[in-house]
Amino acid sequence: MTAHYLYPAWLRLWHWANAVLFVLLIASGVSMHFAGPDWLIPFATARVIHNTTGILLTIGWIGFIVANARTSNGHHYRLHFRGLITQLVAQTHYYLIGIFRREPHPFHVSETMKFNVLQQLTYLSVMYALMPLLIISGWAFLYSVYLPETVFGIGSVWIVAMTHVVVSYLLALFLLVHLYIITTGETVFANLRAMITGWHRDTTPGHDSPQPPRETP
Amino acid sequence: MTSKGTRTTALTVELRPFPKPVATMPSSRGVRLLFWCVLGLLVGIPWTTGATTTSAPSAAAMATTDPELERIAAEQHNCLRCHAMPTLAYRSPTDGEIVDLSIDRNALAHSAHAELSCVECHHRSYTRYPHPRRAAPRDFDCLGCHRDDADPRFAWDHIETEFAHSVHARSEAPNAEGFSCQSCHHPHRFRTTQIGDPLTWIVQEHNQVCLSCHTQLISAASASHDWLPNRAAHWDAVRCVDCHTPADDHANHRILAAEDSPRDCVGCHSADARLLARLYHFRSEEDIARTGLIAKAIYNESYVVGMSRSPLLDRLSLAILVLVVLMLTAHGVGRYLVHREHKRSS
Amino acid sequence: MNAVAHALLHSRLIRRLAIAVAILLFVLLAFYKFVYPVVFDAYIGKSNAPLTYESSQPLTPAQFDALAEELSQEARRTAAEAIVSETDNAFARLVKVEMLMNTPSFIREHEPTHLKYFREAGILQYEGPKTCLQCHATIQVQHHDGRLSRVDTLDDLVNSVHFKLQSDTGSGFSTVGYDGRLVNAEGSRPIPVGKINRACGIPGSFSWTGWAALIESRPEAAHGEIELRSEGCGQCHIGGNYQPASEKMMPIGDVPDVAKEGIDCLICHSGEYDMNQRYVIQDRVGLRWNQDRSLRAALTVGRVTTRNCLNCHQHNMGGDAYLHNEAAQALGDRHRRLLHSGAKRGNPFSPEDDVHAAAGLQCTDCHVPEGHKIPRGRMGVDLVANDLPDVEVSCVMCHTMAPHNRSEHRALLNGHLDRLACETCHITELQDQNVVLRDWVHPTWDAEEGIFTPTDVYRSGEVNKGFTFMWFNGNGTFLANALGNHPDGSDEYDPLMQQLAKIDDPEVIAAVRDKAIELQATYPDIDVDAYVRAATDPLSQLTPEQLAQRRAMIDENLREHMNEGTSKIYPFKLFNAMMYEDLGNQGPFGAMILPFDYKSYYETGDAAASVKQAIQDPIVQRMYQTPFKLYMMDEFMAYFGVADGWQTNYPLVEGELRGVEPRWMRQMGSLMVNHGIQPQGRDCIECHAPNGILDYRALGYSEERAAELEDLDIVTNLQPN
């Protein structure tokens, strides 16, 4: 059994802060978006929550980007194009078919690379494309008065609104998948535990033989 | 009620029904403006004859050779010599309240009644001072003139019916007593809203009418409308009557009581919003011409919180989310079944 | 080891430094507290000393009880008589009064409050503010916005206009300099402005130079016997003792405590203040004003009443010679105060001539005090200080904008409020003694009083003679000219070239000519024609260049201030004076006027010698020196319309006046009149007729409108028959 220290303290702290903010943002965002029914957070409250958590999320995201640039964590986000397609196919195959055939995981976590290629692509697009879009559109909402009235003949606020909504849906989608995928580790809670303790434990280090995913009783 | 970009001139402070869209649309903006102004005149004061070309009717100031208008101007001038005094007023001996007799010369000149001689409504004997001492005559009856209006668009009987059902007519509160057209539509100042009037101005102007009686609402301590998120912003941007008249109609004199008025956000904050159907009608012709009609509609939508809601997008997105949840569940169940199988076999 | 020593050394260093700083602060404080006041007094040539007053005598307990009983009885009797006044039968009245006088509840209710307080505190002598402050060290103040605060009483008073004769710099003026700047507006360098440093042609002196004087009069009736008379600004202004509170003019420093002990609380607060105690006394330090500090006055203190205010203020309203001026009936047990026969405003506040006084209203009903700060309203033309510039004092506060209720034409009358001030109709005339033109340069011998007095060339209380009508928006110039304009923004209305700069009423001109001829008998140098022209057309004293400059300054600097706000037509009392002027400090609107020394003026009638005497006063000399120039005079001159600053050429060289000439001011001052309100206003026809009292064209109405206003068919219909 080997253990890799994959998640330094700052990263875990950021991750969980981010998680809490995501939940709050979704709850308040949904409340405002579908404002009206009683079971939602009251509009005025939701607005304050959304604004505050949005600002915090921005700070967290900037912190993450800076930290990624300055620490070794950043290399997990560097794409290696050689063999990309092969790995992609292998990983997809594993999730769709292999996992049911108890085939071995085609990817092994190490200090040099903690993401499989699917993860890497997803996180890359989430952290470097969707998040900035979400944040920029969110801030544009906050300061919509400074926006030009129209962009290309289309109301700029509408563009902002639509961007924000579409990105929000995509991120909600990501969250769902993310929550599920973490159960596909060594054990159902292995990945969750790793994100809490920082240590990724692997019972079959460097082992090529298939390991069955284990369900806890 | 309007279509193809035709907008109404007779957006009136008194919320009359809108004129039907007119068949032809003049091409140039200037001509169009003139056209609407003329229409406005016809609509606003159809009983005057001969006034067809001026856009800012001011009987007193108008340099005209029309002897009829000159006569009216002279008559108005005679009355306004006193009644234009801003402080022409007295305290009523019965309740001590100040009774204001002054008329804003400028407002009158821009009002719908600008080209009426004062004695058209006020009794003939008012041409002399001192005026006859008697109670305010009841003959200032708007429908007296307006009922016979040849223009079917104004459906005065309909307005009367609506008003009869209005909270103002039915209320038994003592200060609702004697409620009449003039309570809201000041005969010396109300004017038809003109193309190009800024939206905020229209909202303000309309709400001022309500707030002149419902003063307690403006008080900072007032808890009224507390349920409304961002109350101040709503009051700046939404007319009272947008919520306090039946939803199915554009302009309506049936003012609803507080408890009958809608309280749902979505009523306005959605794509087929009531607001769009009403207030945003009043966007000026020029504005639409500048930005294009489609952009205009989208643009208007996005300005309201909740307008980020696009039902199609929402439905699609929610469907995808549900689908994904189902897929993930299926995947999980599959994994569990495999796991169980494996456990049993080993 | 080394480090410890270092730290020790270090801490010792710090300790030494701290001690040094403390000593420095102490020295500075001591300097400010003890040395600065002495130095300042020496600089301006004034002195302060502990003050004593003869009337402040200790009583024995028995005397106190007797006095208390007497005051109690007096108060009771007054109240009882008021109650029974409705009873017709004189004897029945007497009996009722006697019964009331012995009714226990009535006795309790009408005993002067302070009898009890003084008795409990064992106070047997009134010693000025010290005595009052024993209980009233702080007072609660209700502000006009409803705020409540607690202030130090003495501090509140010392910083009020009544004491320091100026407002806090930086606020309180709607006064515009001829250079177009608002006086002491935010962003400008504030200068002290108020009676403290402003000469005026009505008293003819500064508060510095004319504070207190003992005049040796030679009344005819006394056949050559000399009678000492009191004169000076200090008779009314409660502040100061041997001088006004000049210390308050400076950015630092305070009035010495001994001077604060001279504050006369009782003249405002006592129900039985004896104005006969108000006269000039001479002690070893100098001349100062005596006060009533008797226990009798102290025991009858209470809230300020109209009578208290009028102890002083009837002087500038009805005037000293006003028939119903009560204070003028009690001129002093010794050194009787001199009466000024010409009235400053001629609009008395008394039941005989003012409807509000007749209705029993107190001054403080309209001028609602906030502690010792008293509002004079938002409108001010005369550059007099204002404690509460933001507090409104106006008719409509009580009367609303619809004040007329009885007349059939009430609405029409109310309609006029938009254009006319209430005073315009409800002050139909001023007192006859209202002085319009005063010549200080050619005094007249007053045989009855035995003094030389300035010659009032023209007095009148009549409309368009003693006062006229002008547009007024609340702004005034640096020389008290009302600013305002026809609401249409007319260019025709031009008060500084017309209404205030020219007298063209032939009757007035004739009266001035008569006076000039009369004066010529005493002063043969007078050229009657030139005299009449200068008095009635003061602009004729300007050179063409000065005239052009004046024209330009009015248009460029004052027009915009005339067009501000809402103007209404107000009545303004007119005033001009011929005085000696320092022509080295002259602009198109006037020159620095020089003060007269009352004593030499009244006794010798030598106006020039009197000026020489007055300007030798140290503070006037200081005025002509660089520190004062830089501190305030340069700015003063800029507001005055003189661009090159204050010229420090002292106008007295080797005993001769240099660069000093007698001149009429270049325009008349306009003083607001707000009292002497008559219930019956003017008739319509007084204004709405050809040659009515309002000159519509001069007020900027168009020819068409003026003609219409002069010939209203409505008014014609209203006239009887």
How confident is the model over B244-258, as pLDDT tens digits?
887 665 567 888 888
- Band (pLDDT 50/70/90 cuts) for residue A213 is very low
Per-residue confidence band for B280, with pLDDT thresholds at 50, 70 and 90: very low
With cut-offs at 50, 70 and 90, classify the pLDDT of residue B339: confident
Interface test with B, best of A49, A100, A167 (most B CBs within 10 A): A100
In this predicted structure, the answer to whether residue A1 has a pLDDT above a threshold of 60 is: no
CA distance C452 to C473: 40
ipTM, two decimals: 0.81
Quote the pLDDT of residue C323: 92
Indicate the number of domains in chain B: 1
Nearest one of C419, C387, C452 to C601, comparing CA atoms: C452
Quote the strand ranges of C207-274, DSSP E.
Answer: 213-217, 227-231
How far is residue B296 CA from its own chain's centroid?
Answer: 20
The residue written with tokens 């004169």 in the block is C231
If you compute the radius of gyration of chain B from its CA atoms, what whole number of angstroms results?
A: 27
Does any domain span residue B46? no
**Structural domain boundaries, residue B342:** 316-346
Q: Is residue B320 part of a domain?
A: yes
Are B163 and B169 contacting, i.e. CB atoms less than 8 angstroms apart?
A: yes
Do residue B342 and residue A212 have CB atoms under 8 angstroms apart? Answer: yes
Give the confidence band of B46 by pLDDT, cuts at 50, 70, 90: very low
pLDDT of residue A212: 40
Size of interface B-C (CB pairs under 8 A): 49
Q: What is the dihedral of CA C537, C541, C543, C545, to 10 degrees?
A: -60
Choices 1.20.950.20, 1.10.645.10, 1.10.357.10, 3.40.50.1820: CATH for A2-74+111-202: 1.20.950.20
Chain-centroid distance, C-alpha C333: 25
Residue type, C529: D
Residue B292 structure tokens = 């294009």
Q: What are phi and psi of A65, to 5 degrees?
A: -65, -45
Residue of C nearest to B87 (CA): C415
Domain spans of chain A, in order of start: 2-74+111-202
* Cross-chain CB nearest to B303 (options A33, A157, A183): A157
The answer on pLDDT for B290 being more than 60 is no
Dihedral through CA C57, CA C62, CA C67, CA C69, nearest 10? 160
As given in the structure block, the two tokens for residue B172 are 């038994």
Nearest C-alpha neighbor of C426 from the set C591, C673, C708: C673
pLDDT tens digits for range A104-154 = 777 777 777 777 888 888 888 998 999 999 999 888 877 765 666 566 656
b/e per residue B215-227 (b: at least 16 CB within 10 A): eeeeeeeeeeeee
CB atoms within 10 A of CB C109: 11
Rounded Cα–Cα distance for residues C600 and C620 (Å):
17
* CA C667 and chain centroid, separation: 20
Its pTM stands at 0.72
Peptide bond into B246 cis (omega under 30): no
Tokens standing for residue C301 = 């203190």
- Tokens 């209430």 map to which residue? C422
* Backbone phi and psi for residue C477, each to the nearest 5 degrees, phi listed first: -85, 180
The structure tokens listed for C535 are 């008095």
Minimum distance, in Å, between the CA of residue A147 and any CA atom of chain B: 12
Q: Do B308 and A162 touch (CB under 8 A)?
A: yes
**pLDDT higher than threshold 60 for residue B61:** no
Per DSSP bridges, beta strands A2-5 and A199-202 are antiparallel
To test the contact with chain B by mutation, choose from C395, C399, C406, C418 the residue with the greatest count of B C-beta atoms within 10 A, namely: C418
Distances (CA, A) of C586 to C179, C623, C642: 14, 16, 7
Q: Which tokens hold the place of A203? A: 């019972």
Does the beta-carbon distance from C414 to B88 stay under 8 Å?
A: yes
Is the predicted pLDDT of residue B26 greater than 80, yes or no? no
For residue C398, CA distances in Å to B24, C59, C363 come to 61, 46, 14
**Mapping DSSP to helix (H, G, I), strand (E, B) and coil, where does residue C582 land?**
strand
Give tens-digit pLDDT for A30-56.
Answer: 888 876 667 778 776 787 888 889 989
Chain A residues within an 8 Å CB radius of B234: none
Cα dihedral A23, A28, A29, A35 sign: positive
Cβ-proximal residues to B257 (8 Å cutoff; 6+ apart), any chain: B167, B171
For residue C555, the 8-state DSSP code is I
pLDDT at B102 over 70: yes
Domain annotation covers residue B338:
yes
Confidence of residue A203 (pLDDT cuts 50, 70, 90): low
For residue A11, pLDDT over 70 is answered with yes
Residue B344 lies in a domain: yes
Chain B nearest-CA residue for A147: B303
Residues of B at the A interface, defined by Cβ within 8 angstroms: 229-230, 264-266, 269, 291-292, 295, 298-303, 305-310, 313, 317, 320-321, 324-325, 328, 331-332, 334-336, 338-340, 342-343
Instruction: Name the percent of chain A lying above pLDDT 90.
Output: 19
Q: Name the band, by pLDDT with cuts 50, 70 and 90, for residue B319.
A: very high
Alpha-helical regions (H) of C140-227:
153-158, 161-164
Cα–Cα dist C161/C159, whole Å: 7
Contact C402 B90 (CB under 8 A): yes
Helical (H) or strand (E) element with B92:
none
Q: What is the mean pLDDT, run by run of 10 residues, along chain C of 721 residues?
A: 60 85 92 85 85 92 94 92 87 91 90 92 93 95 92 93 77 80 84 80 87 94 91 79 84 85 93 94 91 94 94 92 92 93 93 95 95 90 81 92 90 93 96 96 95 96 96 92 92 93 95 96 95 96 95 95 94 96 94 94 96 93 92 91 92 93 95 94 91 93 92 71 39
Buried b (16+ CB within 10 A) or exposed e, B30-63: eebbebbbbbbbbbbbeebeebeebeebbbbebe
